[in-house]
Structure 1
Amino acid sequence: MYKYREIYSDIKRDILTNHYRSGTLLPTQEFFSEKYNVSRITLKKSLNLLENEGLIYSKQGSGTYVRSKIEADESELLPLDLPVGATFSHKDQNISSNVLFFDARLPTTEEQQNLGISSNQPVYEFKRIRKINSKPYSFEHVIMPVHIAPIDQDILNGSVYDYLQQNVNIQLLDARRIIYAQNATEELNQVLHVPKDSPILVIEQTGYDQKGRAFEFSKSYFISNQSKFVLDVHINKERR
């Protein structure tokens, strides 16, 4: 991925998760150039993408602003084209985990197909509740090949994505996501504290690193009235 697109994605996530709030002045170009260690030319490409999507606008002599949202909806819109982990989507809040299950075993046929591994390659399996400000936010069921990195319970208590990036240089750069709704199972009733048969939003994901290798097959479950996801579509007019 080009550097300017990484910066664009990072700033976009911060806008959509209200780190940079609607209607406020965006930090200066000097700030972003130093933060990402890039030239003004590279940064300008990132800002142009954000402006083309209608997320920011410039006032001559005043600076660049985050465009006000059209709808007066106080619920958070989480960017669907970026990692769905709580550490990424709620970076300024208190994130914690409650690990319910952790083990290693051989993969199922479905897991082999999604991860591109053979039947004799062991995988980690873990289930955990992600909490935001001590309240249940999502339930994660994750399968990850053992050869990717050594994982233990302490790592699962924090951000797995941060651990992979900092220790084995693995980043989530691409993903295949399937989104659907289902009624809450007995397990989901208990861990998310929702009534029987409540609607649950499911994001099924196969995550790929910067080399195109599948390193994660997961299903994340969200309480339907607590999470909203947004996907902005930008059509390049030159291709039409």
Structure 2
Amino acid sequence: MKTLFYSEGLIFSKQGSGTYARKQIENDSSDLLPLDLPIGTTYSHRDQKITSNILHFDARLPEKIEQENLGIEASSPVYEFKRVRSINKQLYSYEHAIMPVYIAPLNKKILQSSVYDYLGTKAKLQLTDAHRTIYAEEASEEASKALEIAKASPVLVIEQVAYDQKGRAFEFSKSVFKSSQSKFILDVHMNSDRISL
């Protein structure tokens, strides 16, 4: 157990002094998305009212970049959906997601709530891993209209490939956040086993 606490950064040692518990950083996590956990907005904001406005929903054949990220063939159909998510009636993010059709049937009613919760129930799928790329850019015309901000306003973007418990990529998405909503949290720990002096 002590080794676990060391690896998680919960305790530390000072030579010739002793072992101490590290002071925990307190965060008001009501509007924060933990970047180091493979979870979605509904899970990270369970105590708040989340709504979705569906802007686009269709099924089609995948583009090359979608095939590469999802590990599927050109003949494997995908769902494409775009939606705006709000938290407590405040615009939060604009999502553009691609999912293979074989994962589970989707419709607009499902997209109104948590897709991850639905997939967990319907397809027994669990989001266990995610590869995320985070960067800032100027809002596109589409994103600015969806988030009701001026075109070219600064936004934070998270591109994600999500994987289930079998290691299958089931989502390739891009989420855009207004600068006023760009608050995220990431606790970083150095595994003591990797430290060499």
Question: What's the offset of the Cα at 1:49?
Answer: 4.7
Secondary structure of 1:188's aligned partner: helix
User: What is the one-letter code of the residue matched to 1:186?
Assistant: E
Distance 2:141 2:6 in 1: 42
Equivalent in the alignment of 1:163: 118
Pairwise CA distance, 1:83: 3.5
What does residue 151 of structure 1 align with? 106
CA shift digits 1:68-88 (9 cap, x unpaired): 53x8x8984321012352202
Q: How does 1:54-69 map to 2 (within 5 A)?
A: 54=10, 67=24, 69=26
1:54 positional shift? 4.2
Name the counterpart of 1:53.
9
Contact 1:173 1:209 survives alignment (8 Å): yes
Percent of residue pairs bearing the same amino acid type: 58
- The residue aligned with 1:89 is 44
SS in 1 for 2:68: helix
SS in 2 for 1:118: coil
The two structures have a TM-score, normalised by structure 2, of: 0.85
Offset, 1:89: 1.7
Report the TM-score when normalising by structure 1. Answer: 0.70
CA offset at residue 50 of structure 1?
A: 9.8
> 4+ residue stretches of structure 1 with deviation over 3 A?
48-55, 73-77
What's 2:164 paired with? 209
Q: Which amino acid aligns with 1:53?
A: G
Q: Secondary structure at the match of 2:180?
A: coil
Alignment partners' CA distance in 2, 1:52 and 1:81: 13
Q: Superposition pairs for residues 156-195 of structure 1, below 5 Å?
A: 156-195=111-150
Within 1, Cα distance between the matches of 2:38 and 2:53?
20
1:78–1:230 contact (8 Å) kept in structure 2: yes
Q: CA deviation at 1:51?
A: 9.5
Q: Residue in 1 aligned with 2:69?
A: 114
Q: Which of 55, 67, 79 is matched with 1:100 structurally? A: 55
In structure 2, relative to structure 1, the CA distance for the partners of 1:120 and 1:79 (3 Å cut) is same
Number of aligned residue pairs: 183
Q: Determine helix, strand or coil for the equivalent of 2:181.
A: coil
Cα distance in 1, alignment partners of residues 181 and 138 from structure 2: 15
Structure 2: stretches of 5+ with no match in the other structure:
12-22
Q: Which has the higher helix share?
A: 1
Q: State the 1:126 CA deviation.
A: 0.2
Contact 2:31–2:45 (CA under 8 A) maintained in structure 1: no
Say if 1:84 and 1:223 are closer, same or farther in 2 by CA, change over 3 A. Answer: farther
The alpha-carbon distance between structure 1 residues 133 and 227, as it changes in their structure 2 partners (threshold 3 A), is: same
Unaligned runs of 5+ in 1: 1-43, 56-65
Q: Could you tell me how far 1:233 is from its partner in structure 2?
A: 1.6
Structure in which a larger fraction of residues adopt strand: 2
Q: CA deviation at 1:192?
A: 0.2
Structure 1 partner of 2:19: none
Of 130, 133, 137, 2:85 maps to: 130
CA contact (8 A) 1:76 1:227 kept: no
Q: Distance in 1 between matches of 2:54 and 2:136?
A: 24
Which amino acid is the alignment partner of residue 215 of structure 1?
F
Q: What residue in structure 1 maps to residue 182 of structure 2?
A: 227
Structure 1 partner of 2:18: none
8 Å Cα contact 1:83-1:89 kept in structure 2: no
